[in-house]
Amino acid sequence: MKTSKIQLWRFFATLVIYFVVRLIAEILFPYGIYAYQGTNNLDVYFIYFANTLFLSIILIWLLNGINQNKLRLISTVIFVIYGLQALMITTELWFFNNIYAFTNQDIKTFLAKNIFVILIIVPVAVYIYRLYNKDVYPRKKITLSLRWIWLAMSYVLIYFIFGYIIIRLSEPANTFYWDKNEASSFIEYIKISYNSHEGILFFQGVRGLLWLIFISPVIYWYRGNETKKLLLLILLIAFLPTLQFFNPNPLSDYMVKLAYFFKISLSNIIYGGLIYILLIKPGKY
In tens, the pLDDT along 71-90 reads 999 999 999 999 999 999 89
Tally of structural domains, the chain: 1
Question: Would the CA dihedral through 268, 269, 274, 280 be positive or negative?
Answer: positive
Task: Compute, in degrees rounded to 10, the torsion defined by CA atoms 234, 235, 237, 239.
Answer: 140
Where does residue 206 fall: left (phi above 0), alpha (psi -120 to 50 degrees), or beta otherwise?
alpha
pLDDT at site 99: 67
- What is the mean pLDDT of the segment spanning 117-124? 97
Going by pLDDT thresholds of 50, 70 and 90, the confidence category of residue 199 is: confident
Q: Give CA–CA dist 247/81, Å, rounded.
A: 17
Cβ(78)–Cβ(119) under 8 Å?
yes
Residue 119, number of CB atoms within 10 A of its CB: 14
Task: Compute, in degrees rounded to 10, the torsion defined by CA atoms 145, 239, 247, 255.
Answer: 100
- What is the mean pLDDT of the segment spanning 52-81? 93
> CB neighbours of 83 closer than 8 A, spacing ≥ 6?
210, 213, 214
As a whole number, the mean pLDDT across the chain is: 83
pLDDT at site 179: 53
Q: Compare 99 and 54 and report the one with higher pLDDT.
A: 54
Check whether 232 has a pLDDT greater than 60.
yes
pLDDT at site 19: 94
pLDDT tens column, 110-119:
899 999 999 9
pLDDT at site 12: 94
Task: Compute, in degrees rounded to 10, the torsion defined by CA atoms 84, 138, 226, 2.
Answer: -90
Cβ(211)–Cβ(268) under 8 Å?
yes
Check whether 40 has a pLDDT greater than 60.
no
pTM over cut 0.75: yes
Q: Determine the Cα angle at 284 with ends 278 and 285, to 5°.
A: 55
Check whether 220 has a pLDDT greater than 80.
yes
Q: Compare 222 and 187 and report the one with higher pLDDT.
A: 222
| Strongest mean pLDDT among 16-20, 158-162, 218-222 | 16-20
Going by pLDDT thresholds of 50, 70 and 90, the confidence category of residue 120 is: very high
3-state secondary structure of 30: coil
Q: Which domain covers residue 73, as residue numbers?
A: 2-284
Q: Determine the Cα angle at 265 with ends 168 and 107, to 5°.
A: 95
Q: Determine the Cα angle at 80 with ends 120 and 108, to 5°.
A: 65
